[in-house]
Amino acid sequence: MCTAATYKTKDFYFGRTLDYEFSYGEQIAVTPRNYPFHFRHMGDVAKHYAIIGMAHVAADYPLYYDAVNEKGVGMAGLNFVGNAYFPEVTEGKENVASFEFIPWVLGQCANMKEVRALLAKINITGTPFAENMPAASLHWIIADADEAVTVESMKDGLKIYDNPAGVMTNNPPFDQQMFLLNNYRGLSPRQPENHFSEKLPLECYSRGMGALGLPGDLSSASRFARVAFTKMNSVSGDSEEESVGQFFHILGSVEQQRGCCEVAEGKYEITIYTSCCNATKGIYYYTTYTNRQITAVDMHREDLDGSGLIHYPMLEKEQILRQN
C-alpha cells in the first residue's frame, strides 16, 4: 500500500510513502530539459521541463514512481490492483504508455489547467516498458499549489476526479474513498460534546477524544481517512524546516512498521521510503525505512540544460547524530 499527500505553506509540497515487501531498486533521478524522451506512440520529445523524483532507472530511462517538475507540478503512481485497466492504442487519442505517464505530463505541463487539457486527449495504454516488466496496476494523483486530481483508468473508462482532500491511497476507487469520508464527519481535533445522551454524564477523560473512531489499521480505506484527517487539520509554520518536518509527520500517520502487515508467510509490507518534494523549489527530500534522517537532492544544483540522466542512490544507512 502507499499513501500520497499534498501540503501548502509558503511553498507547495508533494510526496508519498512507498509501501511494499520488496524494493525494485530506486534512485533519486533528475531528468534535465534536453534528455530525449522517445515516447512509444507519441514520437520524440527533445526538450521539456526538468523533472526530479524517485525512479527505477532501466536502460538509462527513469521509470518514475513520483516526481515534480521545475514548474511546481507533482505526480505520483500508487497501486490500484484489480481496478486499473489500460486499453489498446486508440486512434484519435494521445496514446501514452502507463510507464510514460509521469514524464508525459510533467515534461509539458506548467500547472493543473494545462494538465487537465492534456488529460482530455489522453489514452493510457498498457504498453510494457520491457518484456519482463509488464505494466503496473496504478492510479495517479497530480497536483499543483492550487488543486489536485486523481486519474483512474478503468474498464469503464478514464476517470479524472477532483481531489479536494489532496490525498490518495490504494483501493477502492477514488469516488468510494471520498464517499467513505462521510462516515467520519463527526470527528474533530477539538474535544467532543456529549451528544450521546443527556441522561448519561459522559466525560472527556483524555485529550484527543474528538477523533475517537478514526481508524488506526493499515488498510487502504483506513489510511485514506487517517491521512485526510491529519492533513486537513495540520498546522505548521511556513519555513522550509517547519513545512518539511510537518509533511513527514503527516505521512508518518500512515507509515507501516515491519510485522504489522503480512502479505505472505514471513513477508511484511513496510514503508520503504517516504518522500516530500518542495515542488516550488525542486528539492526532493526523503527518508527510508532504515535511514530516518532526512536527505535532500536539489534539482537546481544540477545542470538542468544538460541531456544526460542524473541519479543518486537512496541513502539507506541509519545516520545517528551522537551528542556526546
Ligand X SMILES: C[C@H](CCC(=O)NCCS(=O)(=O)O)[C@H]1CC[C@H]2[C@@H]3CC[C@@H]4C[C@H](O)CC[C@]4(C)[C@H]3C[C@H](O)[C@]12C
Calpha distance 308→310 (Å, rounded): 6
Min. distance of Cβ 14 from ligand X in angstroms? 15
Cell of 153: 483508468
Min. distance of Cβ 208 from ligand X in angstroms? 28
- Shorter beta-carbon distance to ligand X: residue 13 or 129: 129
Residue nearest to ligand X (CB): 79
Site size toward ligand X, by CB under 6 A: 20
* Active-site residue identified among 2, 109, 276, 277: 2
- Shorter beta-carbon distance to ligand X: residue 50 or 76: 76
- Shorter beta-carbon distance to ligand X: residue 27 or 295: 27
Cell of 132: 519482463
- Shorter beta-carbon distance to ligand X: residue 8 or 24: 24
Calpha distance 189→236 (Å, rounded): 15
- Between 249 and 278, how does the x/- string for binding to ligand X read (CB under 6 A)? ------------------------------
Is residue 204 flagged as an active site residue?
no
Min. distance of Cβ 194 from ligand X in angstroms? 38
- At 218, the amino acid letter reads L
Calpha distance 313→315 (Å, rounded): 6
- Between 48 and 87, how does the x/- string for binding to ligand X read (CB under 6 A)? --------x------x-x-----------xxx-x------
Calpha distance 182→185 (Å, rounded): 5
- Among the listed ranges 12-20, 29-37, 150-158, 227-235, the one in contact with ligand X (CB under 6 A) is 12-20
- Between 193 and 232, how does the x/- string for binding to ligand X read (CB under 6 A)? ----------------------------------------
Cis previous bond, 134, omega within 30? no
Binders of ligand X in range 158-197 (CB under 6 A): 170
> Could you say whether residue 99 binds ligand X (CB under 6 A)?
yes
> Could you say whether residue 20 binds ligand X (CB under 6 A)?
yes
- Among the listed ranges 16-24, 28-36, 147-155, 306-314, the one in contact with ligand X (CB under 6 A) is 16-24
Calpha distance 244→230 (Å, rounded): 15
Min. distance of Cβ 323 from ligand X in angstroms? 36
For residue 310, CA distances in Å to 100, 129, 289, 300 come to: 18, 20, 24, 12
Asked if residue 169 lies in contact with residue 78, where contact means CB atoms within 8 angstroms, the answer is yes
> Could you say whether residue 13 binds ligand X (CB under 6 A)?
no
Binders of ligand X in range 107-146 (CB under 6 A): 129, 133, 135-136
User: Where does this chain bind ligand X (CB under 6 A)?
Assistant: 1-2, 18-20, 24, 56, 63, 65, 77-79, 81, 98-99, 129, 133, 135-136, 170
Task: Give catalytic residue positions.
Answer: 2
